[in-house]
A and B are shown apart, each in its own frame.
Chain A
Amino acid sequence: MKRREDSERIVITGVGLAAPNGANLADYRRALLTGQSGVVPYEIRYFGETFAGVCNCDVLKYQNRRELRRGTRAGSLSVYCVGEALADSGIDWENVQKDSVGVYIGVTEHGNVETENEIYEIKQYDYDCAYWSHHHNPRTVANNPAGEVTLRFGITGPHYCLGAACAAGNAGLIQGVQQLRLGEVDLAFAGGVSESIHTFGIFAAFNAQNALARHEDATKASRPFDKGRNGIVVSEGGCVYTLERLPDAKKRGAKIYGEIVGYGMNSDSTDFVLPNAERQAECIQKALRNAELAPDEIDIVNTHATATTAGDILEIEALRAVFGESKKTYVNNTKSFIGHAMGAAGALELAGNLPSFDDGIVHPTINVDELDPECEIDNLVLNEPKEIGNVRFILNNSFGMVGINAVTVIAKYEGD
């Protein structure tokens, strides 16, 4: 593994998350180890009945109803996640210099929910724009989710959102690492968020693409790698990490969940929607090079697979190219439990795997009744958790539309 100066070593010291099957890391991990799906029947205007991953976290913990109304769902999920990540870190917030804190939130899209709502409103007034809300602009600016965090917590350092389709959660995390290494901030809240289930457009578009999951049982609708998979379950969610430089974390005796030792980002440059296995493999190799790790040093690969026919096969093709010779690398998928949390996916799925550093267990990929032969790969953990002993390195994949790939490598922190 690459040896970095301590001041360049960035560690995770807090986790705040909102998942469809858990509103904190302990509950979420328990759900992932006991096969609890967070996918439920869901109905949205115009589109009708479908499935979705819906979060039931208590957003009133950090905002009152007036603040919730003023902002957006993506904003409130971000505020909740940062509030939890901050509390979890144990940082003495009162004495933190607020202009040295940065907020970096990945989003797949932002603003569709509000624009759809406004058009729905003015439709009742014969599309008279005089009835359009003054809230539309502050709710739809691309920095809204991160900006709401700064408003709530009095943060005066930089904030912005990273639009990176479904690679956004990892992109947010990578941005946090880079800004800390550059010395731009001393503390970062980084991750991703998604409010996508509140826009009918995303369901309608996936459906038009024949890529929206259908099944008689909501909890079995998201089934990556299964032969009977038929598309994506759209989910909302969020996951934000408290990131610090190692010396700062050590100085205050913080719990260290892991160290971000490598990352890679690249672009397919081939298609609007169809992934590119070769570019994905290159992105994974880029992350491994960045960490100075060999493929067979990775204990767990958390896949991006969304349960589309082509996407799952292409990702496995990329994994075979990189990890084909590795006997000790285990492969799993979190979307089979929570659906596709879009901008939150990368960060949220990583969080579901971080406890493996402590318990040595790989959470499974559920809903695989018949493994698609084209998705076969050694050590794919199917349907039941697998205890593998000491876990030292996790590699997390996230890929998005228009060809954006982001991969992170997290190491167990084992002291000096």
Chain B
Amino acid sequence: MTSAELRETIIDILSEIAPDEDYESLKDDVSFRDQLGMDSMDMLDVVLGLRRRYKLPIPEDDYPKLDSMNSTIEYLLPLVNEKKD
């Protein structure tokens, strides 16, 4: 999986949680919380969405790594590709 493909999947997950946001203008280096007004329940939706799509458990200690698009991709990409292998 490429970084761009993973980004698309994350956008899909975010769009389910916050359907009215404009994802065209999403800034990849800004936190989801600040940019999309996401709270802790929303962040758990991101974790659940990833788990359901990739059967990928994300330990609670790693939740801070899901802060922005860049940090999420940096954290997830190797895990997702490792899982596929």
A interface residues, Cβ below 8 angstroms from B: 64-66, 69-70, 121, 125, 130-131, 133-135, 138
Contacts and interface: CB of A to CB of B under 8 A. Distances in A.
B51 A131 contact: yes
A66 B20 contact: yes
A70 B57 contact: no
20 contacts: A64-B20, A65-B19, A65-B20, A66-B17, A66-B18, A66-B19, A69-B16, A70-B41, A121-B52, A125-B55, A130-B57, A131-B48, A131-B51, A133-B48, A134-B41, A134-B45, A134-B48, A135-B41, A135-B45, A138-B41
Contacts of A64: 20
B44 interface: yes
A389 B17 CA distance: 54
Contacts of B55: 125
A138 B57 CA distance: 23
* List of 3 A-B pairs having minimum Cβ-Cβ separation, nearest first: A65-B19, A134-B44, A66-B18
Nearest to A70: B41
A131 B20 contact: no
Interface of A (DSSP majority class)? helix
Interface residues of B, number: 13
Interface of B: 16-20, 41, 44-45, 48, 51-52, 55, 57
A130 B51 contact: yes
B52 to A, nearest CB: 6
Contacts of B45: 134-135
Nearest to A134: B44
B17 A125 contact: no
A65 B19 CA distance: 6
Contact of A131 (B17, B18, B19, B52): B52
A126 to B, nearest CB: 11
A64 B45 CA distance: 18
A131 B51 CA distance: 7
Given A65-B20, A125-B52, A135-B45, 9 more contacts: A65-B19, A66-B18, A69-B16, A70-B41, A121-B52, A125-B55, A131-B48, A131-B51, A134-B41
A303 to B, nearest CB: 43
A105 B71 CA distance: 44
Nearest to A121: B52
A177 B16 CA distance: 41
A232 to B, nearest CB: 35
Nearest to B48: A133
A131 B41 CA distance: 15
Nearest to A135: B41
Contacts of A130: 51, 57
A294 B44 CA distance: 59
Residue in B20, B48, B55 with the greatest tally of chain A CB atoms within 10 Å: B48
Nearest to A138: B41
Contacts of A121: 52
Nearest to B40: A134
Contacts of A138: 41
B19 A69 contact: yes
Contacts of A125: 52, 55
B26 to A, nearest CB: 16
Nearest to B47: A134
B35 to A, nearest CB: 14
A165 B55 CA distance: 40
A133 B47 CA distance: 10
A66 B36 CA distance: 11
A69 B42 CA distance: 11
